[in-house]
Structure 1
Amino acid sequence: MLETRIAEELACIRQAGLERSIMDLHFVNPVQARDQAGKTYLVLASNNYLGLTHAREVIESARAAVFKFGTGSSGSRLTTGGTFAAGELEKRLADFKHSESALVFNTGYMTNLGVLYGLLKPGDVVFSDELNHASIIDGCRISRCRVVVYKHNDMKDLRRLLETEKVIGQRFIVTDGVFSMDGDIADLPALAVLKKRFDAYLIVDDAHGVGVIGSDGSGTAAHYDMPGIIDLQVGTLSKALAAEGGYVTGKKIFIDYLINKSRPFIFSTALAPATLAAANAALRLLQTQPQKYLGSLWANTKLMRRLLKDGGLQVVEGTTPIIPVLIGEAELTMRFADKLRGKGILVSGIRPPTVPQGESRLRITVTAAHSEEQLRQAAQIITALWQELRQDEKKEG
């Protein structure tokens, strides 16, 4: 029976220490959340990089949209769900990303599925970084083209594969801009050389890049000062832009084609007016006050990385606010995260299959909204608890 099979699989998941569960939270501000029992936590696990979810301008824009346009969109963008707010946001996103056009999707995950499934055809070959996000992996799988995986950020390996793989149709290179688990940044200068050398199209998912890197916060291309190099830039509205949804920017001909061919776009109900208004307001704040928000984020990132390293933790090198602390074993990682939760700190414990066996980690993220005092106190607690856990491990060993 199906129930028996599922029960056996769940038992195996629990035995391996890989069981996942949902924790309901109510955010009282950008960096603190309360659970159903009323306990308040300092959150070092969100992607709200600029802390704009609680910005007055963002909240007021969303509230005004609800009163003016109602709570829902009532249909897909191609039927009754088209709103002025979506069109305004797409124009703003295209300008922000130095592209001709843009298209909004319901989630970042659906954006990658919609772009890859919509554009790639049998006969095409997509060269995909081995640490790309699950949405890229799934989009490649359903695209019906051949997928070739290259070693993470290894341009020599990518070049070798581009040279040796036979291609009937088009070549596509797809990569995260900022990788979600390690926080490192794609080697765009080398990718640009390979793209030109092998006449390939380059797709970059900037979900964790926008509002994080680049002098204006627009992501990977701005980080390297290389506008116009990326053919299609995928992004999300649910991280630094404090709302919900995803988008893609690129040449108008690509966007027009996706409007007509991307099934996840065509057959999805459009985002609610309040969501679009919130994203518009958050993007305006980033565009008009980049140094205010980016400066705070970068300073907090630098501080937290230093504090954790000084505390003896194995921090993966990098410059982004995604701070991986390598632990190793899944069970120890989750025990660490659980003990931190008991002390009022929420961090993400990451284990297989999200990361390889033996590379489980705490994924700590900081935001522009964290105070220096909060970060110093959190780092002190994390460091002290790690020393306790190591002593316990030695005793048990």
Structure 2
Amino acid sequence: MNQQVREQLQAFLAEQERAGLLKRERILSSPQSSRIEVGSQKVLNFCANNYLGLSDNQQVIQAAKDAMDTWGYGLSSVRFICGTQEIHKELERRISSFLQTDDTILFSSCFDANGALFEPLLGESDAVISDELNHASIIDGIRLCKAQRLRYKHSDMESLKHCLEESQGCGRRLIATDGVFSMDGDVAKLKEICALAEQYDALVMVDDSHATGYLGPTGRGTVELCGVQGKVDLITTTFGKACGGASGGCISGSQLLIDLYRQRARPYLFSNTLAPAICGGTLKVLDLLEAGNPYKEQTMYNARLFRKSMEEAGFDLVPGETAIVPVMIYDEPKAVALADRLLQLGIYVIGFCFPVVPKGKARIRVQLSATHTPQDIQIAVDAFKTAAMEMGIL
């Protein structure tokens, strides 16, 4: 590294430090759960994607161990060489059945799934139309394809309609949206999106990572919640949030599209296959979800209880009906400082600032789990009130 580059990087990091925005990784000394240890401090965790509380579920852990005993630690290969085991095909069948699609293709993460989705399907004569608040993985995936790119205002159907009309001269058109938007916690207007897609002959893809497992009558995500089964062409999702919290993701959809990805999706063709333990654990999660899924009702009860208590305390929350509850602070250094103070009070949360959220929209994103108790939630609300009053936020 030459001296000029070194100095530039040092200056950037020093400026982040001065502004109080340097991202620091806190080291956990315990498994992921609603109660964790950070160093020697035991705290309540309110910022994991562990919506159903399955990250330390003993049945899931045992299933992962059993899969490793049977199938080994890893495959040392990509799928089309010698990286496909029966357990991978079983998981693809089970996910397809759960999401009510034709077929499914596995990836090491949903980030990779979204990175794989656009380039094989869309060329220079095509168009992709994306919600402006879509996840970074969708944005990066779109960048990899040569299609015309249009963005519509967040959940604004008139803006989406305008993009569809503007792109009518293109060949294939694909509308891309999160199912649940990760930073705001709101649900995409899938019924309206699918109606416009049908009217303008467009395809629809939904990233349901923050919904699969706990939203919808049977936990099948926003596609089920919004009543658009069979109208969404491609669903991407993760096993790293509600569905066990480890890693892995997929694209699920119509047979022809999945067949295309098996031939052309670069993260699938050039990355090691999903570890057997992840497959085994995720299969057990699907067993639990299909056996009645009592966890999701508790998750949503906890989210409503936390939201109600925080609103009564006077906090500014982004409206929503999911397990994500953003507490708006707006001032970036204050958001970081508030999270640090809450950690001292026994509540583990993180302040989110630009570029993760837009400038001036700093917040603390609280995420509820089925394993939180009403007492946990009251402790968290009291800590928020104490810290916010100390800092002049309330």
The normalised TM-score by structure 2 is 0.96
Aligned residue number for residue 288 of structure 1: 291
Unaligned runs of 5+ in 1: none
**Amino acid of the residue matched to residue 317 of structure 1?**
P
Alpha-carbon shift at residue 241 of structure 1 (Å): 0.7
1:279 aligned residue (279, 282, 292): 282
Specify the code of the residue in structure 1 equivalent to 2:364.
L
Q: Does 1:26 align with 2:29?
A: yes
Give 2:71's aligned residue.
Answer: 69
Q: What SS does the aligned partner of 2:391 have? A: helix
- Per-residue Cα deviation, 1:272-313 (whole angstroms, up to 9, x for no partner): 1111101111121011122x1111111111111111111111
Distance 1:29 1:264, change over 3 A: closer
SS at match of 1:5: helix
- 1:70-102 Cα distance to aligned partner (Å, 9 max, x none): 211221111121112111111011111110000
Secondary structure at the counterpart of residue 118 of structure 2: helix
On the 8 A contact 1:212/1:320 being kept in 2, the answer is no
Matched, 1:159 2:144: no
> In the alignment, which residue of structure 2 is the partner of 1:360?
362
| Correspondence for 1:312 | 314
Tell me the residue number matched to 2:229. 227
Which residue matches 1:300?
302
| Alignment equivalent of 2:382, drawn from 377, 380, 386 | 380
| Distance across 1 between alignment mates of 2:204 and 2:354 | 29
Please point out which of 176, 179, 183 is paired with 2:178: 176
After TM superposition, give the deviation of residue 28 of structure 1 in Å.
3.8
Do the aligned residues in 1 keep the contact of 2:191 with 2:227 (CA within 8 Å)?
A: no
Task: Establish whether residue 7 from structure 1 lines up as the match of residue 10 from structure 2.
Answer: yes
Deviations 1:79-136 (A, max 9, x none): 1211121111110111111100001100110010011222222121111000000000
Q: How many residues are paired up?
A: 390
Q: Secondary structure at the match of 1:320?
A: coil
Residues 174 and 204 in structure 1, CA contact (< 8 A), matched pair in contact too:
yes
Taking only the aligned residue pairs, the percentage that are identical comes to 34
Query: In the alignment, what sits opposite 1:140?
Result: 142
2:117 aligns with 115
3-state secondary structure, aligned to 2:106 = strand
Asked whether the equivalents of residues 111 and 137 of structure 2 are also in contact (C-alpha less than 8 Å), the reply is yes
Separation in 1 of the partners of 2:270 and 2:64? 25
Give the secondary-structure state (helix, strand or coil) at the position aligned to 1:119. Answer: coil
Deviation at 1:164, TM superposition (A): 2.2
- Matched residue type, 2:254: K
CA distance in 1, matches of 2:118, 2:29: 35
- Cα distance between partner residues in 1 of 2:172 and 2:21: 39
Out of 323, 341, 344, which is 1:342 matched to?
344
In structure 1, what residue type is equivalent to 2:200?
A: F
Structure 2: which 5+ residue stretches go unaligned?
none
Whole-Å separation in 1 of the counterparts to 2:101 and 2:169: 28
Deviation at 1:228, TM superposition (A): 0.3
How many angstroms does 1:166 deviate by? Answer: 5.0
Q: In structure 2, how many angstroms separate the alpha carbons of the residues matched to 1:123 and 1:23?
A: 46
Aligned residue in 1 for 2:87:
85
Q: What's the TM-score, normalizing by structure 1?
A: 0.95
In structure 2, the partner of 1:42 is 44
Q: For the aligned residues, what is the CA RMSD?
A: 1.4
The ranges of structure 1 where at least 4 consecutive aligned residues each deviate by more than 4 angstroms after the TM superposition are none
